[in-house]
Chains A and B, each alone.
Chain A
Amino acid sequence: MPFFEAIRLALSQIRVQKLKSFFTLLGVVIGVMFLIAVVSIVEGMSRYVEEDFAAKIIGKNTFSFRRRPDINVGNVSDETWREYSRRPRIYEADVAIARGALPPGTVSAVENTTFAYANSQYGRPRQVQVIATEPDYFRIKSYNLTNGRLFSPQEAQLGTPVVVIGTEVASHFFRGLDPIGRELRIGGNTFTVIGLLEKQGNVFGFSLDRMVIGPYKSTLSRVTNPRGDIDALVVQAPTREMIGDAMESVREVMRGFRRLPPARPDNFALETSDAALSFFDELKGKLILFGTALPAIGLVVGAMVIMNIMLVAVAERTREIGIRKALGAKRRDILSQFLVESATLSVCGAAIGIGLGIALAKVVAAVSPLPASVAPWSIALALLVGAGVGIVAGMYPASRAARLDPITALRQE
């Protein structure tokens, strides 16, 4: 029997028994719904981590040279922590050495950061993230302005008290006003706002629009690092492949500069987004595993219900099977008829489940900080799973139907 004929037959069978079909499909619908929702949320999170988190917090093709890792995933033991504390701080001399070793084509900027209270004559004091850095920092982080300008190399060199601010800072301290040219006070110093960053959004609830960025050589560094040390040197390589080379160069000169014997581990950290990403990859794997194990149980139950219903259908339609066989249907025809029917049934359930799953993912994304992104592969997978469940569930009933003796089947009332 032609395939489309079989599908048409299956659909008409479903249409005739709408309610029964719906209840039959409940297991598959729920299973697929949660499958899609879980995969969408995990996928959304991981895309978020890969694209936003990695790019915005750390920067693309970027590593940082710092005293100790900034992002610590998992548990850091006391021992490790004490070791971090014994490490020498990084000063301008170290940065100069490290910079000297960078391959051509790389871009770097020092980064000093802290949280400090700022105030203006228009708004109450509020904590903001303060970053003292160099002009290339904007390039490395791909920060663009919507208004005003960046600080110039001259301003950077002279330490002119100018700042570029985030949208949240602007809306809090200069509500309803154009912030450009207005004054913002941080740590007892007055800074002139010269630029407004475009909206960055937030990463896991941490706003990226609450920052104030000023020249490293300005008094802003007194606020961030009163000791005169440097938090990090952020380095961007032109390609992903070059990160490793650049890091090795820095490691080599720094070990030499700090006279570390070969047996001693580094007393500084070279941090890339990989550490964070590999942690999230691991987390993603676990989430997908647990997140799909539960819906899988739903699918097993769904398969059993479908098998049951198909057995009933075969029993109810024994006579029809007899008629078809008398008219020349071969075993394979009957087998495929019932397999296609159960697969169609199950795929319909999967389709409903996909719709509900996407809706559920969107609802979760709307009411919680968890992002959701529907992966096209998960829809294809869900449809395949639906067809698979139907075929597996239909196998036994269909083979029973195919093996029916036409004479006995025709005699059935």
Chain B
Amino acid sequence: MIPNTTGERVDDALATTGEHSLSTTAERKAIVEAPGEAPTKDWVIVTRGLKREYDMGGEIVRALRGVDLVIRRNEYVAIMGPSGSGKSTLMNLIGCLDTPNEGEYWLNGTLVSQMSDDALARVRNKEIGFVFQTFNLLPRATALHNVELPLVYAGVSADERKRRAREALDRVQLSDRMDHRPNELSGGQRQRVAIARALVNNPSILLADEPTGNLDSQTSEEIMKVFAGLASQGQTVIMVTHEPDIAAHARRVVVLRDGLIASDDRRAAFAARMGL
């Protein structure tokens, strides 16, 4: 029994934070060491030796140099690292916006690392809910329409779209701001619209890229609460950030350095190491 910073016993903390559902290092290792094998549905994200290189005017930049990342369903993981560590590259790969030069990426039991552009678009639409630092809402569309957008591309009928978009906005407590445009909303509200948009398709993972980067600390806390709430409801959340105190909201923290995973800890261990 290791006492945590608040003096509570870890057992109690586990019970409330859901850390008991975290995968263990041994489990993860077993999956990584079976290349080419399709993981079971329980493992949402499995990457084996993921490499990504960029040609920057003749100079080869090796952004990822063999990343083995395994994330089980319902985990709340932060990916941390200083700039240049390759975390944006990893996020783009996890988000199916990009494909690796080498290595496997299994998303929800499907090998997506070699898919075509349009197949990836379909995967993004179905499996991934993006939350961006700059919110990335369509400026001229209302909150409701912004949330509807993924459903438009999923081919959902207009009535069904409206109904589900309303539901999603309800989940982030924005039902009363449905007909407002992004410029009529505060930063926190905008990010909540973005979260609603990310959730509307019931994605396998919620992928957030510096979700609090453009928000003040109070609003950041608010958004972190939304994430924690979603995680406790069973949503797999992956958050990319460079701020340790934001990363510490996740139950598991993966630290990248120079294109490799430097550490992969539970929150408590990470917090202890960072002195939070």
Q: How far is the CA of A320 from the CA of B149 in the complex (A)?
A: 12
Q: Are B138 and A320 in contact (CB under 8 A)?
A: yes
CB of A1, distance to nearest CB on chain B (Å): 6
* Interface of chain B residues 85 through 134 with chain A (CB within 8 A): 92, 95, 97-98, 117-118, 121-122, 124-126, 130, 132
Please tell me if A370 contacts chain B, counting CB pairs below 8 Å.
no
Q: Is the interface of B mostly helix, strand, loop or mixed?
A: helix
- Which chain A residue has the least Cβ–Cβ distance from B153? A328
Please tell me if B185 contacts chain A, counting CB pairs below 8 Å.
no
Please tell me if A330 contacts chain B, counting CB pairs below 8 Å.
yes
10 pairs of residues in contact across A and B, judged by CB atoms under 8 Å: A323-B138, A324-B149, A325-B121, A325-B124, A326-B97, A328-B153, A329-B153, A330-B117, A330-B153, A407-B97
User: Cβ of A12: which chain B residues have Cβ within 8 Å of it?
Assistant: 140
B150 contact from A328, A331, A407, Cβ within 8 A:
A328
CB of B36, distance to nearest CB on chain A (Å): 27
User: Cβ of A407: which chain B residues have Cβ within 8 Å of it?
Assistant: 92, 97-98
Please tell me if A51 contacts chain B, counting CB pairs below 8 Å.
no
Interface residues on B, range: 20 to 34
Q: A12-B140, A323-B138, A326-B136 are in contact. Are A1 and B118 (CB under 8 A)?
A: no
CB of B152, distance to nearest CB on chain A (Å): 6
Q: Which 9 pairs between the two chains have the least Cβ-Cβ distance?
A: A328-B125, A328-B153, A330-B121, A330-B118, A327-B150, A323-B136, A406-B97, A328-B124, A329-B153
Q: Are B136 and A410 in contact (CB under 8 A)?
A: yes
CB of A210, distance to nearest CB on chain B (Å): 67
Please tell me if A16 contacts chain B, counting CB pairs below 8 Å.
yes
Q: A327-B197, A328-B121 are in contact. Are A2 and B152 (CB under 8 A)?
A: yes
Interface centre among B124, B125, B152 (most CB of A within 10 A): B152
User: Cβ of B117: which chain A residues have Cβ within 8 Å of it?
Assistant: 330-331
CB of A411, distance to nearest CB on chain B (Å): 10
Q: How far is the CA of A410 from the CA of B138 in the complex (A)?
A: 12
Q: How far is the CA of A410 from the CA of B137 in the complex (A)?
A: 11
User: Cβ of A330: which chain B residues have Cβ within 8 Å of it?
Assistant: 117-118, 121-122, 153
* Interface of chain A residues 6 through 29 with chain B (CB within 8 A): 12, 16
* Interface of chain A residues 329 through 374 with chain B (CB within 8 A): 329-333
A5 contact from B98, B132, B136, B152, Cβ within 8 A:
B152
- Which chain A residue has the least Cβ–Cβ distance from B200? A327
- Which chain B residue has the least Cβ–Cβ distance from A16? B140
Q: Are A329 and B121 in contact (CB under 8 A)?
A: yes
Q: Are B152 and A1 in contact (CB under 8 A)?
A: yes
- Which chain A residue has the least Cβ–Cβ distance from B136? A323
CB of B254, distance to nearest CB on chain A (Å): 21
Please tell me if B154 contacts chain A, counting CB pairs below 8 Å.
yes
CB of B195, distance to nearest CB on chain A (Å): 13
A328 contact from B92, B98, B126, B132, Cβ within 8 A:
B126
- Which chain B residue has the least Cβ–Cβ distance from A328? B125
Please tell me if A319 contacts chain B, counting CB pairs below 8 Å.
yes
Q: How far is the CA of A331 from the CA of B126 in the complex (A)?
A: 16
CB of B107, distance to nearest CB on chain A (Å): 14
Q: How far is the CA of A407 from the CA of B209 in the complex (A)?
A: 13
Q: How far is the CA of A182 from the CA of B201 in the complex (A)?
A: 93
CB of A347, distance to nearest CB on chain B (Å): 21
Q: How far is the CA of A323 from the CA of B118 in the complex (A)?
A: 15
User: Cβ of A325: which chain B residues have Cβ within 8 Å of it?
Assistant: 97, 121, 124
CB of B69, distance to nearest CB on chain A (Å): 19
Q: Are B132 and A410 in contact (CB under 8 A)?
A: yes
- Which chain A residue has the least Cβ–Cβ distance from B197? A327
User: Cβ of A16: which chain B residues have Cβ within 8 Å of it?
Assistant: 140
User: Cβ of A326: which chain B residues have Cβ within 8 Å of it?
Assistant: 95, 97, 124, 130, 136
- Which chain A residue has the least Cβ–Cβ distance from B98? A407
Q: How far is the CA of A16 from the CA of B138 in the complex (A)?
A: 14
Q: A327-B125, A332-B118, A407-B98 are in contact. Are A1 and B153 (CB under 8 A)?
A: yes
User: Cβ of A329: which chain B residues have Cβ within 8 Å of it?
Assistant: 121, 153
Other A-B pairs beyond A323-B137, A324-B153, A328-B124, 19, CB < 8 Å = A1-B153, A5-B152, A16-B140, A323-B138, A323-B149, A324-B149, A325-B97, A326-B130, A327-B149, A327-B150, A327-B197, A328-B121, A328-B126, A330-B118, A331-B117, A332-B118, A333-B121, A406-B97, A407-B98
Over the window 127-168 of chain B, the binary record of Cβ atoms lying under 8 Å from chain A Cβ atoms (1 yes, 0 no) is 000101000111010000000011011110000000000000
Q: How far is the CA of A11 from the CA of B153 in the complex (A)?
A: 19
CB of B159, distance to nearest CB on chain A (Å): 13
Q: Are A327 and B118 in contact (CB under 8 A)?
A: no
A327 contact from B92, B98, B124, B155, Cβ within 8 A:
B124
CB of A251, distance to nearest CB on chain B (Å): 72
Q: Are B97 and A333 in contact (CB under 8 A)?
A: no
User: Cβ of B197: which chain A residues have Cβ within 8 Å of it?
Assistant: 327
- Which chain B residue has the least Cβ–Cβ distance from A327? B150
Q: How far is the CA of A162 from the CA of B117 in the complex (A)?
A: 91
CB of A392, distance to nearest CB on chain B (Å): 24
Q: How far is the CA of A2 from the CA of B157 in the complex (A)?
A: 9
User: Cβ of A2: which chain B residues have Cβ within 8 Å of it?
Assistant: 152, 155
Q: How far is the CA of A332 from the CA of B117 in the complex (A)?
A: 11
Q: How far is the CA of A328 from the CA of B201 in the complex (A)?
A: 11
Q: How far is the CA of A1 from the CA of B136 in the complex (A)?
A: 20
Interface centre among B132, B153, B197 (most CB of A within 10 A): B153
Q: How far is the CA of A2 from the CA of B130 in the complex (A)?
A: 23
User: Cβ of B132: which chain A residues have Cβ within 8 Å of it?
Assistant: 410
User: Cβ of B92: which chain A residues have Cβ within 8 Å of it?
Assistant: 407
CB of B105, distance to nearest CB on chain A (Å): 16
User: Cβ of B118: which chain A residues have Cβ within 8 Å of it?
Assistant: 330-332
Q: A1-B152, A1-B153, A2-B152 are in contact. Are A328 and B122 (CB under 8 A)?
A: yes
Interface centre among A12, A325, A331 (most CB of B within 10 A): A325
Q: Are B153 and A327 in contact (CB under 8 A)?
A: yes
Q: How far is the CA of A329 from the CA of B153 in the complex (A)?
A: 6
